[in-house]
Amino acid sequence: MKTFHIGGMALARRYSTLEAALAQASDDDTIEIHKNLTFSGKIHHNLIINGNGHTITVENNKVGFDCEKPIVLSNLTIVTEPRANGIILHKGGTLHQIITKIKGPARVLYPTVLVETGKLTLTDCTIMKLGADAGTQVVAERTKFVDYYGGILHLEGKENLSQLLGTVSFTYCDVDTCYFKAPATLQQCLLGTFNRSVSDVTLIGCTMQPTVRKPAVNIHREPADGPLHKQNTESRFSWEMEDGTVTATDFHSEIPQEFVGFHLLQGSLNINQTQNDDPNGYHIIRHGSISFTDTTDTAYYDITGGSENVVSVVRSTVNTSIKSKTAMDKLEELIGLEPVKKNIRSILNTITLTEQNNNKDFDFSYHMIFAGDPGTGKTTVAKIVAQALFEIGVLPENKCTEVSVDSLVKGYVGQTASHVREVLDDALGGVVFIDEAYELTAKEHSFNSEVLSVLIRYMEEHRKDLIVIAAGYEQEMKEFLASNVGLTRRFQWVSFPDYSTKEMSDIFELIRKSYGQEYETPELAQSIPQLFEKLTSLYRAKPDARGRITNGGNGGLVRNVFQQVILSKNDRRIEYPKSSKDITQADLLAGFKQEMEKAISV
């Protein structure tokens, strides 16, 4: 390994030009630069080049260091004209204490550093406009990513951004005007202005601090037909998300009033384990979802986009433009079901205290039986319970996977068990809801024992990431539990009562209002309870095929009646176009009559 000198006072291997030294150098040799140079040329070897604080100038339409093999460059300033590349790394390399700058005025902006393949390692650098192709890896520590304009301009088309198309890992970096298109992890970084992402980004211990500052160049001397003609003066942001997921843990912000922090156009933003006091902080969530977990944040989150937004607040205090509903809020809003609400609250309170105290001595079961007739809200409550278990930290995800017994059973021995494992593996992290679960004990299904065997094992082995809710008729669910000694001790029992005629009337009104339907006269609403009383009495007068006395279907019956009323109204409107657009007494009577005739014919 030899050392070559460009200029300086060395007696051996001293050359006046870098080109002369490169002609003599081989792999692992070192070149020491002792003067400022203008240079462009190919680097064919694995070299170590130390700039000793000097400057390399690269002229337009040229490449400064065109490196065919990984190279180590250190302690050097590289100044490029706008149509030049300072460094092209065809197979990666290492840059230490490198500063790159673009000498304007500029009509176009080429990357000062471009890595095509391999890994680029940056330490203690200041890089203006980095380009990293897809498939590359950029690892940076204590490095500043800066903009030609000084981070004060938002240009359409990303022309002034460092474009990171491969994976990224930044630590203790200052990040301005970067575009992330592949998974990225930023730790303890300072997030400045006009960063964008379309990928999954993890922010750990980062601070968002966009800064109002003077431009780094004389804007008035820049050509009007250059990049500046794409300038967007309407928005200033620190991090714009065009897609993907940004997960910020231990996140802090100091956002001046002129700036927006996160600007979410699509995707999801997750704020975790954050204590942030930023009274001026302002974020915009247009579309996508946002979640807060174990977070207190005084910054304001302006959430728009209507129903497309999903807001989750778990053990957090945050300042948002919309009131996010907790699972218990949603449970309380349900019509009727008072015994269910009381039972669910009691179960969740016990689970919460058990988790907080880390007390497993009680061997408390988190799995549940929802027993009741069809239409009593079992599926709806199961989804709410899934959200509640997520909010109190029992489950890692807010999801409810609905399955039927028929969907679990397969055609031959061994296939069923394998299929059930696949279904339950997909459901891990949330709740699996099995409707009409009592069919698992039906003797005519020869493969049910395989389903039960796998189900019981998963219930025991995945207590931390799977809750099973089995639902069905009350008597059949009692027989279900009695069929296997391992089931009874694993389930909590929740009974779902039938709706009263008053509650069914309230549900009818809720459906009607949700569809924007009005009555011809307000007094028509007063007849709904009597009509439901007459309809349900017809069902109660005749037991079903299994001898059960039912009210005809609870919420399902209400929806059927509403549908018949609307069908009657539509028929009237087609036959008499000038008749009332609202629900008339004749529409109500015709709709209920259709369902009453069904009840009589059953």
CATH number belonging to domain 501-601:
1.10.8
Min mean pLDDT across 243-247, 386-390, 443-447 is at 443-447
CA distance 126 to 29: 25
Per-residue pLDDT at 531 exceeds 70: yes
Per-residue pLDDT at 444 exceeds 70: no
Dump pLDDT digits (tens) for 165-200: 999 999 999 999 999 999 999 999 999 999 999 999
pLDDT at 570: 95
pLDDT at 513: 93
Residue with tokens 């037909």: 225
**CA distance to 199, 234, 253, 299, per residue, from 237 (Å):** 18, 10, 13, 14
CA distance 51 to 97: 9
Tokens found for residue 80: 């490029």
**CA distance to 87, 531, 539, 550, per residue, from 601 (Å):** 84, 18, 10, 15
Q: What is the DSSP string of 44-94?
A: -S--EEEEEEEEEEE-TT-EEEEESS-EEEEEEEEEE-TT-EEEEESS-EE
Tokens found for residue 174: 């200052």
CA distance 434 to 403: 5
pLDDT at 359: 58
Domain assignments of the chain as residue spans, ordered by start? 3-276, 328-496, 501-601
Query: Counting Cβ atoms within 10 Å, is residue 168 exposed (0-12), middle (13-18) or buried (19+)?
Result: buried
Identify the H or E element spanning 386: helix 378-391
CB 436 within 8 A of CB 370: no
pLDDT at 447: 61
pLDDT at 493: 93
pLDDT at 323: 72
CB 448 within 8 A of CB 480: no
Q: Residues of 355-386 as b/e, b for ≥16 C-beta within 10 angstroms?
A: eeeeeeeeeebbbbbbbbbbbbbbbebbbbbb
**Sequence-distant (≥ 6) Cβ neighbours of residue 343 within 8 angstroms:** 494, 495
- Which pLDDT band holds residue 308 (cuts at 50, 70, 90)? very low
Q: How many helices (H) and strands (E) does the chain have?
A: 13, 43
Strands 282-285 and 260-264, bridge-based pairing? parallel
**What's the whole-number average pLDDT of the chain?**
90
Question: Across residues 135-161, what is the average pLDDT?
Answer: 90
CA distance 412 to 524: 57
Identify the H or E element spanning 381: helix 378-391
Dump pLDDT digits (tens) for 200-250: 999 999 999 998 777 788 888 888 888 887 777 667 899 999 999 999 999
CA distance 34 to 56: 11
Nearest partner of 374 among 221, 478, 499, 266, judged by Cα: 499
CA 167 vs. chain centroid, Å, equals 19
Per-residue pLDDT at 306 exceeds 90: no
- Which pLDDT band holds residue 361 (cuts at 50, 70, 90)? very low
CA distance 93 to 69: 8
Question: Across residues 408-420, what is the average pLDDT?
Answer: 77
What percent of the chain stands above pLDDT 70? 96
Classify residue 325 by its DSSP letter. P
Question: Across residues 20-33, what is the average pLDDT?
Answer: 95
Per-residue pLDDT at 445 exceeds 60: no
CA distance 504 to 555: 7
Show the CA angle centred on residue 373, arms to residues 371 and 379, nearest 5°: 70
Q: Taking the CB of residue 599, how many other CB atoms lie within 10 A of it?
A: 18
CATH number belonging to domain 328-496:
3.40.50.300
Dump pLDDT digits (tens) for 51-83: 999 999 999 999 999 999 999 999 999 999 999
Per-residue pLDDT at 307 exceeds 70: no
Q: State the distance between the two ends of the chain, measured CA to CA, in whole angstroms.
A: 96
Q: At what angle do helices 555-575 and 528-540 cross, to 10 degrees?
A: 120
CB 85 within 8 A of CB 64: yes
Min mean pLDDT across 82-96, 371-385, 442-456 is at 442-456
Question: Across residues 351-378, what is the average pLDDT?
Answer: 80
Nearest partner of 328 among 318, 317, 340, judged by Cα: 340
Min mean pLDDT across 258-272, 347-361, 404-418, 492-506 is at 347-361
Q: What is the DSSP string of 485-537?
A: HHHHTTEEEEEEPPPPHHHHHHHHHHHHHHTT--BSSGGGGGGHHHHHHHHHH
Query: Residue 413: what residue type?
Result: V
Per-residue pLDDT at 129 exceeds 50: yes
Question: Across residues 104-111, what is the average pLDDT?
Answer: 91
What is the widest separation between alpha-carbon atoms in the chain? Answer: 113
Classify residue 144 by its DSSP letter. E
pLDDT at 411: 64
Question: Across residues 256-273, what is the average pLDDT?
Answer: 92
DSSP bridge partners of 392: none
Bond before 396 cis per omega within 30 degrees:
no
Identify the H or E element spanning 270: strand 268-272
